Structure 1
Amino acid sequence: MKRFYTFIALICFAVSAHAQFGGTASGPSITGRISGTVIDSVTKKPMDYTTVGLYRSGGKSPINGVVTDDKGNFKIDGIKPGSYKIVISFIGYPSKTIDPIVTSASKPDNKMGTVLLAPGAHALAEVNVVGATPLIENRIDKIVYNAEKDLTAAGGNATDLLSKVPLVSVDINGNVSVRGDQNVRVLINGKPSGATSANLSDVLKAIPADQIKTIEVITSPSAKYDAEGSAGIINIITKQKNVSGLSGGISGGVGTRQNNGNLNLNYNKNRFNLTTNIGGNASWPQTSLTEFHQEINSDSIHSVTDSKGTSRLKRHAVVGSVGAGYEFNGYNSINTTFKFNQIQFNTNGESNTVSATPYSNTTTNRNKIDGFDWNLDYTHKFKKEGEELDLSTQWSHNSGITDYTNIYTAAFPNLQNNIDARSNEYTFQADYILPINKTFKLEAGGKTILRRINSASDYFTYTAGAFVVDPIRSNTYNYNQNVFAGYSVFTITLPKDYSILAGFRLENTDIHGEPFNAAQDLAPFDQNYNTYVPSLTIQKKLSATNTLKLSYTKRISRPSIQYLNPFVNQNNIQGQTIGNPTLNPEVSQTVELGLNSFIKTSILNLSVYYKHTSGLIEGIASPISVIVDGAEQGGTLTTYQNIGNNNSLGGSFFGTINPFKFLTIIGNINAYTYKPDPSGVFHLAQSQNGTSIQYGGFLRATATLPSNFLAETFAFGNSSRRTIQGTTPTFSIFGVGVKKQLMQKKMAIGVNVISPFAEYKSFNSDLRSPGFVQTSKFQLPFRSYGLTFSYNFGKLNFTAPKKGVNNDDLKQGDQGMGGGGAPAGGR
């Protein structure tokens, strides 16, 4: 493995030295522009939001691009003298290519005048009326959700948007899943954030929806992507725009549940670009209701515990970024981005418990999370069209502080808990693309991820009128993880509209953990394993409107941080938890057959898939005996285990239809089976043996009304998710929004209503196994009314996105940075 990385480094340095930042540095330095106006050839109306791509004459890879304004005008600045190709495209219209378009030092500007674009035989009837990107796009390798087109999104956050994306669901705690599987990686602008690895649900709630441009769902990642995430990858693209001159926008919302705002500014001068963005949100205090019931009936313990309580949550967050880039010439460019976040949430709770020893308690929970991600990326393009080398580095730092106090009237000792956690993640990556000829394209690269996580969890018990350190509960945890990877992917274009994407990836994972507690005999632990990840996709274009795809992917889910920590967390003495340092990664293999079809005004996507998961990781609860005020009571101890295998059959349907020119209806449903095969002693913990069907879906209708009014309504939901011991809550929601566009669509004011028919949403869980039964009910206030606004200025001129670091690993849902922390209240 070390030899492999030495080889990659030598290649990178040799290629970089050969480039010498030379490229096409010589010659005239004057730059000009290419401009024109796109008109519908039938209606003779200007076409806004039409994509205009700039290529080198005869080339296949775009070097720049813009979208037309509301009058159909476009302008591409910074054009060096030369021969170019313009490709104009819009959904439902055949693309129009104009080649060559010539500029020279003596005549740097090329005014193309009026360009007519003709609709195709299968053009969408409403496209030239609405003139906008659809809310959801079905691409051959992904599903793209255009959040900018969601009227009910303003005033919300990333969690709200993810709940509406096809194949994606989000539970009440903010855990994200694709097709019911929570082992999915969430990226931001193609890169992970150190904060998402540690506190994903809080980071998603901190990102204002107004900052998000699109969300991509990749269900069958190739070997180019990190092996982690058995369900696939979700990539959140924010509104970072490189534009000509100065532009930006301000947006926000005020509501009964949450308030937020966002500001972005963008500047581009010649080959330099600068982007800044800052946003935040603050929720009004929300009071939730909780109920808990537990029965322990083991051989020696018989106890019943019932508890009712309330919890009051306040949350606020600030997120932002600063990015800059410079193109030395047509062959070499450099980009850097600094992203930061600060999240705070405070919870106050009260509860009354009836058990062998009745008691009441009050809790206060103060949480603060700070972090940043700093990346530096260099791109070198070769003279051969499409050949490219990308070198990327990233440093992610995250810190979290939790102060937790629990005061009891009887039974238990009063507790305080102070957790101080730090994490640093260093990533080094090289990617190379080589189009060998018209048939073959090679992609190869290497990557190293170094993670260093440290936490100290200090507990204090109330003794003699003061809180003093409790070494029995206090603990420290140092965790190091190194991942080394190399990959190669071949794209093969065959006759008769066949294409193949085949790849192979090798990853080595090395883990070292050092837990410590004064009372528990905790030994350091190590893990080292190799993961071989093949991928294969075969695609057949059946016709101009139908594409068939067959794919095979292998993915893993690494147990990380608290999943491996052997410290017994006794903060809740009747609900203790412990990690498992011998836990193996979860491995899944999926075969999927999908059909994309475009039928007149409808888009359809159908897929069926089979997934085999080995080493399935679940938390297994078992009854234990605890002593409270000298009396023996029952409780549970939950341990993470590889419980066995699971074979799942699934299918999904996604479609859009336009029954009228002004109305678009979009729907999605996904269903799959769950029937685990527990191995060994885990058969004894299983509470059901049948096959369960789990599902989720959404339905949305959008109407374009006269006088620049837009209206939308949506509903989505998902069934409960099973484990071998029980079920997690169901979730559903309904919303309506109306927006008025002003100032030639540069400004908009809207209203929206979420969950108007019920103030609270109930989330019920059921857990049972031989020896115990446990149920819980959580009611969260969800009804909200809000006002939203947005204003944009400047003229957009989008450039191609830059490549960079992309750490799609670590098991989803493992959100602690270390330590045996207090319960994460307010999630």
Structure 2
Amino acid sequence: MKARSNLLYLIVLLTSQLSVLSSYGQSNPVTYSISGTVVDSATQAILPFVTTSLKAGGNAPLKAAVSDTNGAFIFTGLQPLQYTLTVVAIGYTTKSITIDLTSATIDKMELGAVYINKKTNKLKEVTVSAFKPIIKQEADRISYDLQADPDSKSSSVMDMMRKVPYVSVGADGNILLKNNSSYKIFINGKPSGIMDTNPKEVLQSMPASTIQRIEVITNPPARYDAEGLAGIINIITNKDVKNGYNGTVNLNAKYPQGGPGIGASINARTGRFGVSAFAGGSLSFTPVTDISNTRQAFTAFPSTLTQQGTKQSDTRTGYFGTELSYEIDSIHLLAAQFNFSKNRTDGTIFQDAELTRAKANLQKYQFSNDNNNRGNSIDAAINYQRGFKHDKNRLLTFSYRYVKSANNMEDEVLFDNRVNYDYTNYQQYNRGTATEHTVQVDYAQGIKALLIEAGAKGIFRLNKSDYRYLFFNPNNGKFEVEPALSNDFINHQNVFSFYNAYTYQLREWGFKAGVRVEETVIDVDFSKANTVVKQQYFNIVPTASISRKFKDKSMLTFGFNQRIKRPGINKLNPYVDRSDPNYESTGNPELRPSTINNFMLSYGRSGKLSANVGVGFSFFRNLDLRISSYNPVTNITRTTFDNVGKGTAVTSDINLTYAVTKRWNASVNSSLVYLWMDGVSDSSLIQVNRLMYNVNITTGYRFDKGWRLSANLNITGAGIVSLQGVSNAFVSNGITLGKDLLQDRLSLAATVNNPFQAHRDNRIVTTGHNFIETNNTYEFFRTYQFILNYRFGQLKEKVKKNKRGINNDDLSNSKGGL
């Protein structure tokens, strides 16, 4: 067909050229021309080899032409008459345009883009209904297809996380995996600095429409690092890259808490080169919010501390990520990635503080805290993948990754209206940087139904922290460094690992087993205190799973794995945060890794009713827990971390998605954990036995003419935020109205969250052996959100991606807590 079109184009072109030559010597040298480009009205794609004809009265065409490979056509040698242009293409509606050259003041009529519409064929007697599965289960993971969920057009990635199996969102907006804060977040199967520094802000600003799916790897195979007690969350961007390009642009705004944001993604391929990129940014404003805190001390001389005040903050977040791929030939592939993120938060806290005993005032003051936080991260990686011409089941990959991040925190605390309080004004700052180099080699060999994998890896980290405490000297009116409270912290951490894994498929049965060996060497140096801490530990980490597929598209899986939770720099850094005069928090450079053993049984079924049910049992030891102690001499509560936790947990996760009709769908996503945990604080044994739960219910209906209406209800029970701390339960809800335009390419949506409750009291109660403390934040709960989403482009051929790469998941994503 293509050869015939090219021949027709050549014949028409030769005919038109002969016509021009034959008229060259005529007496009237002034002739007219008509030109244009044929374009698909829906996809904006140019259309080559489309037949165009020109008539000047009557029914017989005067001239004919075929658009070239760029969609362009031209008629020359015309007289000043009235013409009718007709455009005919298979699968498109015929289009006619009237062109009047009698009044033309120029001899060239350029029409520009001539849009034609695809034909729409309606089946009146046959109705085909298909339900695209939103959730897909595999032996070691489960994935949620955001592109199959209409709500993704009007939501952020953080909003959609509530619907993903095994995932929940806490009251503070932090993501929990199986009710655990220890996990890793990947982008496209690889670690990213974007998710290491400030994941909550990035995910809140990242439009869900730019994401293809979210994978939850509950039983990571041996080729992944052992870090993360709960597993891995893998965010897949729109990766269906083909010959051509496509993309998404999203604009959104949230009020009164939040702000404007923008996000975009684009995928393109030309020949052997492919590129995928995503970027975004947001401004998030937290208006003035009431805060209060009460601490009751049960010592020989009981006292009560009462703090009341306000806080507000502004946050700016920006991120960019890209992946490049070049297919040298059929067996050699080069791939690279680059990610960058930056965030900035400025806040202010005003508080009145009063310390009393038996209703007598012991101490009183007012203070203000101007604080700011600056963070940025950059990471880059390159992968070389080699296949083998005579054995397509063999694959060898070499990878290198570089990461550098910085996090700078500053506080200035000023006092006023003091009563029996002689603390001077002070400033504090912490300049933290982290650098990482990783080298890795992976080898995979397939032998019939058996896949053998092996690899080696080295990670070389350098973490630094330069922290200073400056007091105000009234004699010279300047802030001066206090050497006893200032230091330089340097942490070297090298991790060497090897793994071997086997996968075997026997009809409906699947078997996976592997072992990973990791050696960690740590060297900590306090340059100004002449203190050195050295650690070295060795771990053998097994993993195994068995899966069985059934004819009704269901799967049953049983898995076992052992995971490690290494403390990150935020828990190791001995910098003391004194942003509140009555409270101090610091890290512990002598922390050691925690281990957990997980057993899990899960069942999944896809169809009109998709059901995924998982039950698990875990036991852990040496868990690094947040510990708070009250000193009655200084009246200061100090919080740090220590390896004091051990216990067991039983988990149950249920996700149900049901297509009630082809227009109406509903889903339930729930997670329950019963925890038995023991820990020690101030030489006192603390036992925790608690049921934690989260239930998210969502329903949506699609009306005629592109209208959509959805609603959600989220129920979260009281949660454990530390060995001694418990957060209160809460219920949230939201309603979204959306409209699709331009053949579903443009989407508009408006959302109101918690329409029946303007504010919420977020409460955390912390209990120690000689104190109890209640912290309240009276935060905005009712918000309004507006989203505009636009999709563009047209693609044809998938781009080739490397199958192996660096996965640095050996450090916990946890910012604190359990």
CA offsets 1:29-66 (integer angstroms, 9 cap, x no match): xx99xxxxxxxxxxxxxxxxxxxxxxxxxxxxxxxxxx
Q: Give me the whole-angstrom Cα distance separating, in 1, the residues matched to 2:194 and 2:604.
A: 36
Q: Give me the whole-angstrom Cα distance separating, in 1, the residues matched to 2:638 and 2:384.
A: 50
Give the corresponding residue for 2:326. Answer: 326
Give the corresponding residue for 2:446. Answer: 435
CA RMSD of aligned residues (A): 3.1
Give the corresponding residue for 2:539. Answer: 531
What displacement does 1:811 show?
2.4
Q: Give me the whole-angstrom Cα distance separating, in 1, the residues matched to 2:630 and 2:504.
A: 56
The question of whether the paired residues in 2 share the 8 Å contact of 1:515 and 1:566 is answered with: no
The question of whether the paired residues in 1 share the 8 Å contact of 2:669 and 2:697 is answered with: yes
Structure 2 counterpart SS, 1:358: strand
Give the corresponding residue for 2:365. Answer: 359
What displacement does 1:801 show?
4.2
CA offsets 1:83-119 (integer angstroms, 9 cap, x no match): xxxxxxxxxxxxxxxxxxxxxxxxxxxxxx9xxxxxx
- Aligned-partner residue type, residue 491 of structure 1: T
What displacement does 1:71 show?
11
- Aligned-partner residue type, residue 706 of structure 1: D
1:368 to 369, 374, 377: 374
What displacement does 1:775 show?
0.9
Give the corresponding residue for 2:729. Answer: 730
1:484 to 459, 473, 496: 496
The question of whether the paired residues in 2 share the 8 Å contact of 1:208 and 1:280 is answered with: no
Pairing of 1:420-499 with structure 2 (within 5 A): 420-438=431-449, 440-464=450-474, 465-494=477-506, 497-499=508-510
CA offsets 1:132-169 (integer angstroms, 9 cap, x no match): 74444444432222334555555764433334422212
CA offsets 1:760-794 (integer angstroms, 9 cap, x no match): 23221111122111111112223222221122221
Pairing of 1:163-312 with structure 2 (within 5 A): 163-240=162-239, 242-256=241-255, 257-299=258-300, 301-312=301-312
The question of whether the paired residues in 1 share the 8 Å contact of 2:194 and 2:319 is answered with: no
What displacement does 1:197 show?
3.2
Q: Give me the whole-angstrom Cα distance separating, in 2, the residues matched to 1:727 and 1:286.
A: 26
The question of whether the paired residues in 2 share the 8 Å contact of 1:140 and 1:596 is answered with: no
Give the corresponding residue for 2:589. Answer: 581
Give the corresponding residue for 2:676. Answer: 675
Give the corresponding residue for 2:610. Answer: 603
The question of whether the paired residues in 1 share the 8 Å contact of 2:205 and 2:262 is answered with: no
Given the alignment of the two structures, is residue 618 of structure 1 paired with residue 625 of structure 2, yes or no? Answer: yes
Evaluate the alpha carbon distance shift between residue 590 and residue 408 of structure 1 in structure 2; reply closer, same or farther with a 3 A threshold.
same
Q: Give me the whole-angstrom Cα distance separating, in 1, the residues matched to 2:182 and 2:459.
A: 19
The question of whether the paired residues in 2 share the 8 Å contact of 1:746 and 1:792 is answered with: yes
Give the corresponding residue for 2:666. Answer: 665
The question of whether the paired residues in 2 share the 8 Å contact of 1:522 and 1:566 is answered with: no
- Aligned-partner residue type, residue 362 of structure 1: S
Give the corresponding residue for 1:379. Answer: 385
Evaluate the alpha carbon distance shift between residue 219 and residue 326 of structure 1 in structure 2; reply closer, same or farther with a 3 A threshold.
same
The question of whether the paired residues in 1 share the 8 Å contact of 2:520 and 2:537 is answered with: yes
CA offsets 1:578-631 (integer angstroms, 9 cap, x no match): 433332211100111111234x6211112211100111221121221344xxxx
1:554 to 549, 562, 586: 562
The question of whether the paired residues in 2 share the 8 Å contact of 1:156 and 1:258 is answered with: no
**Percent pairwise identity:** 25
What displacement does 1:389 show?
1.6
Structure 1 counterpart SS, 2:190: coil
CA offsets 1:304-333 (integer angstroms, 9 cap, x no match): 101111111111122113432210111111
Evaluate the alpha carbon distance shift between residue 402 and residue 536 of structure 1 in structure 2; reply closer, same or farther with a 3 A threshold.
same
Q: Give me the whole-angstrom Cα distance separating, in 1, the residues matched to 2:807 and 2:568.
A: 18
The question of whether the paired residues in 2 share the 8 Å contact of 1:491 and 1:500 is answered with: yes
Q: Give me the whole-angstrom Cα distance separating, in 2, the residues matched to 1:815 and 1:192.
A: 20
1:702 to 694, 700, 703: 700
Q: Give me the whole-angstrom Cα distance separating, in 2, the residues matched to 1:494 and 1:145.
A: 26
Structure 2 counterpart SS, 1:550: strand
What displacement does 1:292 show?
0.5
Evaluate the alpha carbon distance shift between residue 654 and residue 247 of structure 1 in structure 2; reply closer, same or farther with a 3 A threshold.
closer
The question of whether the paired residues in 1 share the 8 Å contact of 2:144 and 2:214 is answered with: yes
Structure 1 counterpart SS, 2:590: coil
Given the alignment of the two structures, is residue 504 of structure 1 paired with residue 515 of structure 2, yes or no? Answer: yes
CA offsets 1:666-708 (integer angstroms, 9 cap, x no match): 11212121111336x777152x55x311111211112222112
2:714 to 710, 713, 716: 716
Alignment gaps of 5+ in structure 1: 1-30, 33-68, 76-112, 114-125, 628-633, 817-827
The question of whether the paired residues in 2 share the 8 Å contact of 1:643 and 1:682 is answered with: no
Q: TM-score, with normalisation over the residues of structure 2?
A: 0.78
CA offsets 1:780-827 (integer angstroms, 9 cap, x no match): 2232222211222211344354342211121232479xxxxxxxxxxx
Q: Give me the whole-angstrom Cα distance separating, in 1, the residues matched to 2:382 and 2:366.
A: 53
Q: Give me the whole-angstrom Cα distance separating, in 1, the residues matched to 2:209 and 2:473.
A: 50
Evaluate the alpha carbon distance shift between residue 540 and residue 132 of structure 1 in structure 2; reply closer, same or farther with a 3 A threshold.
closer
- Aligned-partner residue type, residue 499 of structure 1: G
Evaluate the alpha carbon distance shift between residue 568 and residue 250 of structure 1 in structure 2; reply closer, same or farther with a 3 A threshold.
closer
Evaluate the alpha carbon distance shift between residue 788 and residue 200 of structure 1 in structure 2; reply closer, same or farther with a 3 A threshold.
closer
Larger RCO (CA within 8 A; separation ≥ 6): 1
Structure 1 counterpart SS, 2:160: helix
The question of whether the paired residues in 1 share the 8 Å contact of 2:197 and 2:377 is answered with: no
CA offsets 1:242-271 (integer angstroms, 9 cap, x no match): 332243332211332321112334332111
Give the corresponding residue for 2:338. Answer: 338
Q: Give me the whole-angstrom Cα distance separating, in 1, the residues matched to 2:312 and 2:753.
A: 20
Evaluate the alpha carbon distance shift between residue 603 and residue 800 of structure 1 in structure 2; reply closer, same or farther with a 3 A threshold.
farther
Evaluate the alpha carbon distance shift between residue 323 and residue 654 of structure 1 in structure 2; reply closer, same or farther with a 3 A threshold.
closer
Given the alignment of the two structures, is residue 401 of structure 1 paired with residue 408 of structure 2, yes or no? Answer: yes
Evaluate the alpha carbon distance shift between residue 732 and residue 190 of structure 1 in structure 2; reply closer, same or farther with a 3 A threshold.
farther
Evaluate the alpha carbon distance shift between residue 191 and residue 717 of structure 1 in structure 2; reply closer, same or farther with a 3 A threshold.
farther
Structure 2 counterpart SS, 1:161: helix
Q: TM-score, with normalisation over the residues of structure 1?
A: 0.78
The question of whether the paired residues in 1 share the 8 Å contact of 2:412 and 2:426 is answered with: yes
- Aligned-partner residue type, residue 514 of structure 2: G
Evaluate the alpha carbon distance shift between residue 751 and residue 773 of structure 1 in structure 2; reply closer, same or farther with a 3 A threshold.
same
The question of whether the paired residues in 2 share the 8 Å contact of 1:155 and 1:254 is answered with: no
Q: Give aligned pairs, total.
A: 686
Structure 2 counterpart SS, 1:243: coil
What displacement does 1:228 show?
0.3
The question of whether the paired residues in 1 share the 8 Å contact of 2:211 and 2:238 is answered with: yes
What displacement does 1:340 show?
1.1
Evaluate the alpha carbon distance shift between residue 70 and residue 708 of structure 1 in structure 2; reply closer, same or farther with a 3 A threshold.
farther
Q: Give me the whole-angstrom Cα distance separating, in 2, the residues matched to 1:247 and 1:724.
A: 49
Structure 2 counterpart SS, 1:357: strand
2:525 to 514, 539, 542: 514
The question of whether the paired residues in 2 share the 8 Å contact of 1:473 and 1:570 is answered with: no
